[in-house]
Amino acid sequence: MTGYLLRRIPTAIVVLAVASILIFAVLRLIPGGPEAALAGPDATAAELAAIRHDLGLDQAFITQYLAWVGDILALDLGTSYQVGGSIADLIGFGLINTLILTVAALIIAILLALALALTAVLFDNRFVAGLLTVVNAAAIALPTFVVGTVLILVFGVRLRLLPAGGIPPNGFTESLQISTQYLILPALTLGLPAGAMLARFLTESLRTELQQPYVLTARALGASRTDIVLKHALRNALPPTLTALGITVGALLGGAVLVESIFGWPGLGLLTEEGIFARDYPLVQVLILLSVAVFVIIQLLADIVHAWLDPRIRLAGDR
């Protein structure tokens, strides 16, 4: 296992380092740098140069990059030019909102996956199977902006049951009931495809379990079908699904960008979008690096869990 970690962890660090260089370089290719956005349309060339000097943009690329990496490693995220304020504060605020949304979506996804998979296995007749296939395909394939728009139309605009977007006026310090009302539509939009995807994994995994000899034994001993599924098969079907959960968390964080935009949810996704259009380099480069880091870490954890469970992967390089 140590050998595997020694091979796998440096790889993740290299990917992060390359990604950080790319992010830093690519953002500087955006036409119309931050000085133009800061100084306004009437600025003279001298004013622009002065601003560039103040921001350190006239230094060599490598100097700027190393200074940035040094600051990040010292946990100093810097100050935003445009959106305003300390980047750590902005990210902290956005991160809480994104996490609340993601966790809510994850809970919905898990409940949905359990419901769909158990229905598929417990009631296996042609009608249920056909219905589940349709529900599953629709939930996985329909884009979040379609689902989100329809949900807003039906529950926010027509029925007026739930708020059509945003977060509670006073944040999530409000009562649980009000918070839930604001959370339910975006979390459902985000969790639906993830839940349907998980349901497919879990159903597949349950069906594989149901073909094992121990199921036949339990059946012969007189256990009911429901008992076999809930008490025996489900327990054994969960581990492979847990690995898939890692991918799901990644997908949820990635999908949050769009869902936040649809529902005007002030999380990290909305902050990234805002930052890019305002040419707010310091803010955006930290945000993108953060999202890349999260993905790399999730991938790393998933690989490690996988290797821990499957010796063939762990030992592949030792031969």
Partner 1 sequence: MTTDQSSTTTTVAAGPNAEDPDLVPGLLPESPGDREARHPRTPLWRSLLHGTGLVGSILVITVILCGTIGPLFTPYAPDQQIDGAYLLQPSLDHWFGTDDVNRDIATRVLYGIRIDLLIIFLAVPIGAALGVVAGLATVTHPASDVIAQRVFDVILAFPALILGITLTAILGPGAVTVGVVIALAEIPIFGRLTRTSVLRVRELPYVEAARVSGATTSRILLRHVLPHSLEALSVQFALSLSLAVFIEGALSYLGIGVVAPAPSLGSILAGGNGYLETNPWFSLGPLIAVSILVLGFYLIAQSISHDRRLRR
Contacts of 174 (CB under 8 A, 6+ apart): 168
CB 119 within 8 A of CB 130: no
Whose Cβ is closer to partner 1: residue 139's or residue 179's? 139
- Span 214-233, contacts to partner 1 by CB under 8 A: 215-216, 219, 225, 228
Binder of partner 1 out of 7, 19, 50, 52 (CB under 8 A): 19
In whole angstroms, how close is the CB of 117 to partner 1 at the nearest point? Answer: 11
Which stretch in 40-48, 95-103, 236-244, 295-303 sits in contact with partner 1 by CB under 8 A? 295-303
CB 228 within 8 A of CB 297: no
Query: Counting contacts by CB under 8 A, is residue 155 touching partner 1?
Result: no
CB 307 within 8 A of CB 313: yes
Query: Counting contacts by CB under 8 A, is residue 86 touching partner 1?
Result: no
Query: Counting contacts by CB under 8 A, is residue 161 touching partner 1?
Result: no
Query: Counting contacts by CB under 8 A, is residue 106 touching partner 1?
Result: no
Residue 103 CB-half CA count within 13 A: 7
3-class DSSP assignment, residue 239 = helix
Which stretch in 56-64, 93-101, 108-116, 207-215 sits in contact with partner 1 by CB under 8 A? 207-215
In whole angstroms, how close is the CB of 14 to partner 1 at the nearest point? Answer: 7
Angle between helical axes of 126-141 and 87-122 (0-180°, round to 10): 160
Query: Counting contacts by CB under 8 A, is residue 119 touching partner 1?
Result: no
Tokens at 50, concatenated? 């002065």
In whole angstroms, how close is the CB of 157 to partner 1 at the nearest point? Answer: 6
CB under 8 Å, gap of 24 or more: what pairs does 249-253 form?
Answer: 249/102, 249/106, 249/298, 250/294, 250/295, 250/298, 250/299, 251/193, 251/194, 251/197, 252/102, 252/105, 252/106, 252/109, 252/190, 252/191, 252/194, 253/98, 253/102, 253/291, 253/294, 253/295
Binder of partner 1 out of 6, 9, 67, 153 (CB under 8 A): 153
Q: Which helix (H) or strand (E) holds 113?
A: helix 87-122
CB 260 within 8 A of CB 98: yes
With contacts defined by CB under 8 A, how many residues of the chain interact with partner 1? Answer: 65
Whose Cβ is closer to partner 1: residue 73's or residue 126's? 126
- Span 258-277, contacts to partner 1 by CB under 8 A: 258, 261-262, 269, 272-273, 276-277
Binder of partner 1 out of 5, 9, 13, 18 (CB under 8 A): 18
* Sequence letter at residue 230: L
Q: How many residues does the chain have?
A: 319
What residues make contact with partner 1 under the rule CB under 8 A? 11, 14-16, 18-19, 22-23, 26-27, 29-31, 120-121, 124-126, 129, 133, 137-138, 140-146, 149-150, 152-153, 156-158, 164, 206-207, 210-213, 215-216, 219, 225, 228, 253-254, 257-258, 261-262, 269, 272-273, 276-277, 288, 291-292, 295-296, 299
